[in-house]
Chain A
Amino acid sequence: MKIRKLLRILHRDFGYFIVGMTIVYALSGIYLNHRHDFNPDYKIFITDFQVDLPQKDAITEKDVKAALISVNEDVVYKKHYINNEGFIKVFIENGEAVINPETGKGTMQYLQKRPIIYSMNKLHKASIGTVWKWVSDIMAVILVFVAVSGLFILKGKRGFNRWGWWLMVAGIVVPLVFALIYI
């Protein structure tokens, strides 16, 4: 079998195989690029509120629960403690709240996972354990193979020797220019 034919078959089959992971890397890559603009994993909702707390030395779990439910009845209380500033810090399901026990003023921060993207980011960052790290390495090698084998599939005017060469150089020059300027 000719090399070009073999490359075409492997490029086609590995190309089908790797399309899912390519989408994962590309989409999550966009979100992770903007990690300094917004949280790539979670939507964050912040609300200020005012509650009535009993004026006593020891605020109980019951007091805190009642205060939070008056703000939002869906809030699920987990735990609370008095922090170094003397404020009540409350851990709630998917977030936290801080309440000034004297004024009753508080702020609640509620997190919501970005559907699908959260999982994609985890896969992209290989932060789900050792096994996935090695599997994603294999995926990356396949991706490189698909990219490189694609160079040699077409013959003629639109092949790598003419058209393809210049486009490949253009694709390398863009990141190279940024690397030379900013790194």
Chain B
Amino acid sequence: MKNLALLSIVVLVFFGCGNQSKKQQEAVDQPVVVLTVDELYEKAAELADKEVIVKGTVMHVCKQGGARCFLMGSNEDINIRVEAGEKIGAFTQEQMGSDLEIAGILKIVRTEADAHNPGEEHGEDETTETDSVADEAHRIIAESLENAEIVYFIEGLTVKEIKEITE
């Protein structure tokens, strides 16, 4: 029993220390420029798949466990979804209306078309099909991909509450 208790303490201390040093490392690696939601959308194309820091007011937090929130820009039509993911864990309802500074990876998705793109989903082998039906299917998919609405969201890494947004 003593050994079990000792082992538990050692495990907790080990995980606790590991977590702290990781947080410090994340703080060092963070990009410096903090963007508003409006600014983020202006530069979104060039920032896709890169780490960004965005600040804004939380206008909605997912009621099913706070897995995601929406940060508002200059009006409620300009907003971006932030997925809490494993790093942040969850947002809380208490954060509604708070100004947050969130670091994360800006992701881009094309609605609907992404889910049906065989090239993206299944790798190069699929593109070697040469029959006319497959070509036609790929042409339609490429067309719908071009026309699909682009949606941006952030995979959250760290979150910090700020007292006031300075424009």
Contact = CB atoms under 8 A, between A and B. Distances in A.
B89 A84 contact: no
A83 interface: yes
Given A91-B97, A127-B66, A81 B76 contact: yes
Given A41-B65, A94-B94, A134-B15, A79 B89 contact: no
A140 to B, nearest CB: 15
A96 B96 contact: yes
B80 to A, nearest CB: 16
B76 A83 contact: yes
Interface in B49-97: 57, 63-67, 72, 75-77, 84, 86-87, 89-90, 93-94, 96-97
Contact of A94 (B1, B8, B93): B93
B15 A135 contact: yes
Given A13-B4, A91-B96, A125-B65, A81 B89 contact: no
A84 B67 CA distance: 25
Contact of A127 (B57, B75, B90): B90
B117 interface: no
20 contacts: A17-B4, A41-B65, A41-B93, A78-B98, A79-B97, A81-B72, A84-B76, A94-B93, A111-B94, A121-B65, A122-B89, A125-B65, A127-B84, A128-B89, A129-B19, A129-B87, A130-B87, A133-B86, A134-B15, A135-B15
By Cβ-Cβ distance, the 8 closest A-B pairs, closest first, are: A91-B97, A127-B90, A78-B97, A127-B89, A131-B19, A128-B89, A131-B15, A111-B93
Given A91-B57, A94-B93, A122-B90, 10 more contacts: A17-B8, A35-B64, A39-B63, A41-B65, A42-B93, A78-B98, A92-B97, A93-B94, A127-B66, A129-B19
